[in-house]
Chains A and B, each alone.
Chain A
Amino acid sequence: MTAAASSSTPSPTPSAVADAGTATPGTAVSSGEGKVVLQLRNIMQRLGAGDRQKVILRDVSLDVREGDIVCVVGPSGCGKSTLLYGIGGFRPFSEGRVLLDGEEITVPNRHRGCVFQDYTIPDFLTAEQNVELGMRLEGLSLLEHWLPFWAAERKARYRKTALELLEKVGLSAHAHKYPRELSGGQKQRVAIAQALAMRPRILLMDEPFSSLDPQSREVLQLLLLEIQRETGITIFFVTHDLEEAVFLGTRLIVLAPTPGMEGASIVHSECIARFDSRRAKTTPEFAATVQTIREKGFKPAQAAEISSLERQLSELSHGSPATPPLSAPGSTSTPTLSSPPPSSPKPPTT
């Protein structure tokens, strides 16, 4: 496995587009090759009104190229999901432009498939019907949808495509089941198949595997990679899990508040080498990539705090030589809980 590299490949787009590395808010970040599918320009998102108005996103610009898996990570509550909702057209941005294949978009449409963490598929349709749903809505009128013998050929074609997609996600044996009969991981597979059935230009995924157990998460990560390799689909993936982002992404973007300014912006962007198997997560290269991005992308103070807390935890678990021993019976000296051990490092202030 090659180590992750910061890409400094210049982009063919105008000078507003910055190279990878630590990004300056307002300049678009991009990877090197491929046609640009999605462009965000000077995105600002504010919530609330008047005195209570809060800036959530500040000056976010980026390009997403065809075939990329762009993973967005950041601290909880920084605005990652808000960014995705705006790209999807569900909560339009206060300022800025979203362009899909060069055309400005403001409302949701089929060209941007979505997979959310929960409420991804309706409960009243079986897995097969769920995958068919978008195709039927697109290709059939309301009457044709309801009347059983109308447009039979088209309905058969949609059913065949749905079954093929379910087989691709490993659920052909569960095609007749309702979502309440499926596990969380199976529901997410149906959601992915449903999104792919619409042949979107880009797939937006908002922490789709967060509520799953680690094993299911791993399986679905590999499935997503396999589907992406087969179809070449462009993916915009939001996650709070840095390891997941490094494993899946070909480009990683860190969204975080910048010191002294309200709202989150892109503070770091980096191209990532492709990792193809579970075993890659145990390699030193993978760990190094995660560590590099954690140190570069998150606030240095935050990173230092995490390191310090990890150190203290380790000392508590294994016992520190500097920790004063408990008093023996009859001893005159009594250690108090209020006074810290003299050799323990002071946590850095933020």
Chain B
Amino acid sequence: MSFLLSLLRIRQPIRRSTRILLGLLGVGVVVVWYFWMAEARHAVNPNDKLTPTARQLVDAVTFSLTPDEFTEERPFFKDLRASLWLFNCGLIAAIVGSLVVGLLAGSWPWLNALLEPLLKVASYLPPVSLIPLIFLFLGFQDTAKIFIIFIATFLPLTRSLILRVQSIPEKLIWNFTVLGPSSLEMLVVLIRRVVEPGFLDDVRLQIGTAWVYLIVAELIASEAGLGYRINVASRNLDVAQILVYLAVIATLAFIMDRSIDYFNRWKNRWYFIGTES
């Protein structure tokens, strides 16, 4: 009974092993439920297309890893390479851009006054609505797709960073000033260090957005990529292929998220003191 009551206590800490077990349990329940449902549906209708069985999923994986008879390239690795190239270019450009604009606009009120209306208006426009314009201006090549990912992630990262810089306590800035740094040193050595852990958390939150817009861009105009393959599979009603590629995207996003988190905890150990569980 006391164990059940402890579950209701807010912020009751749990062990790391318990956290991992619960995480696996959550995913495991969904996976087991799906396969049980798929088998049940196939028992009623063997030609069911909507819920592929485990066997069909394995076949889809095998197909993706089988070299193409003309190019001798495995479709999965070709798609993965194409998508990762676009994803990384777009997100890294957004990170670098938002760091520069965010630090500068957050530190200098006059620059913030100049840029804030533009950033606000741009962020209110759904990036999806800008896609046709982007393709019109930049064509259907990689540049346009990279720009779509960039614009979708740059704006929220920048606005968030500006707020983080502006939230630095005034007395901390005064303390920095007394030590006599130049403006560049103040920005790069001091202010950047204060906002870095929060900024990296923001980047983690934008990973999902970046993947969404990558897939959207590839659905519209592409010859390779995870989104492209999903598009082709959907036209062929190949749900197994779609599910396999979705699992790949989810796995990649998870790995990226964890990597950034571990990097943050290693580089900014000071920020996480007292929060480790």
| Chain A residues near B (Cβ < 8 Å) | 88, 90, 108-110, 112-114, 116, 118-125, 133-134, 137-138, 142, 145, 178-181, 194-195, 198
- Pairwise interchain contact B189-A114, C-beta atoms closer than 8 A: no
Residues of A within 8 A of B188 (CB): 142
> Taking beta carbons and an 8 Å cutoff, which residues of B are in contact with A?
169, 171-172, 174-181, 184-185, 188-190, 193-194, 196, 268-271, 273-274
Given known contacts A138-B180, A178-B273, A180-B270, is B185 in contact with A122 (CB within 8 Å)? no
B interface secondary structure, majority: helix
Pair A142/B185 contact, Cβ less than 8 Å: yes
Residues of B within 8 A of A142 (CB): 184-185, 188-189
Bound together, the chains give a CA A199 to CA B178 distance in angstroms of: 12
> Given the interface contacts A119-B172, A142-B184, does A108 sit within 8 Å of B178 by beta carbon?
yes
- B196: nearest residue on chain A (CB-CB)? A124
Residue of B178, B180, B271 most packed against chain A (CB within 10 A):
B178
| Residue on B nearest A90 in the bound complex, by CB | B174
Q: How far is the CB of B222 from chain A (nearest CB, A)?
A: 41
A114 to B172, CA, bound (A): 11
Residue of B nearest to A113 (CB): B178
Given contacts A145-B189, A195-B178, 14 further A-B contacts (CB under 8 A): A108-B178, A109-B180, A110-B179, A118-B171, A119-B169, A122-B172, A123-B271, A124-B193, A124-B194, A124-B196, A138-B180, A142-B184, A178-B269, A198-B179
Chain A residue with the shortest CB-CB distance to B172: A119
Q: Are B274 and A180 in contact (CB-based, < 8 A)?
A: yes
Q: How many Å lie between the Cα of A138 and that of B189 in the bound state?
A: 13
How near does chain A come to B271, taking the closest CB pair, in angstroms? 7
Query: In the complex, what residue of chain A is closest to B169 when comparing beta carbons?
Result: A119
Q: By the criterion CB–CB under 8 Å, are A110 and B178 in contact? A: yes
**Which of A113, A118, A121, A123 has the most chain B CB within a 10 Å cutoff?**
A123
Q: Give A123 to B172 CA distance when docked, in angstroms.
A: 10
Chain B residues contacting A145 (CB-CB under 8 Å) are 185, 189
Minimal beta-carbon separation of A114 from chain B (angstroms): 5
The smallest beta-carbon distance between B267 and chain A, in angstroms, is 10
How far, in whole Å, are A122 and B83 apart by their CA atoms in the complex?
40
- 19 sampled A-B residue pairs with Cβ under 8 A: A90-B174, A90-B177, A108-B178, A109-B178, A118-B169, A119-B172, A120-B171, A122-B172, A122-B193, A123-B271, A134-B179, A134-B180, A137-B181, A138-B180, A142-B188, A178-B270, A180-B270, A180-B273, A181-B273
In the bound assembly, the distance between CA atoms of A90 and B174 in angstroms comes to: 7
In the complex, A194→B175 CA distance in Å? Answer: 10
A178 to B194, CA, bound (A): 13
Closest to A133 in B: B179
Closest residue on chain A to residue B186 by CB atoms: A137
CB distance from A90 to the nearest CB of B (A): 5
Which 7 pairs between the two chains have the least Cβ-Cβ distance? A134-B179, A180-B273, A178-B270, A119-B171, A119-B169, A119-B172, A124-B193
Interface centre among A88, A119, A145, A179 (most CB of B within 10 A): A119
Is A116's CB under 8 angstroms from B184's CB? no
Residues of the A chain whose Cβ atoms lie less than 8 Å from the Cβ of B179: 110, 133-134, 137-138, 194, 198
A112 to B188, CA, bound (A): 24
Per the bound structure, the CA–CA distance linking A180 and B190 in Å amounts to 17
- Which residues of A sit under 8 angstroms from B171, Cβ to Cβ? 116, 118-120
Instruction: Output the least CB separation between A187 and chain B (Å).
Output: 12
Residues of B within 8 A of A138 (CB): 179-180
Cα A134 to Cα B178 with chains together (Å):
9
Q: A137-B181, A137-B189, A145-B189 are in contact. Are A119 and B270 (CB under 8 A)?
A: no
Q: Are A108 and B174 in contact (CB under 8 A)?
A: yes
**In the complex, A121→B178 CA distance in Å?**
12
Partner of A120, one of B175, B181, B184, B270: B175
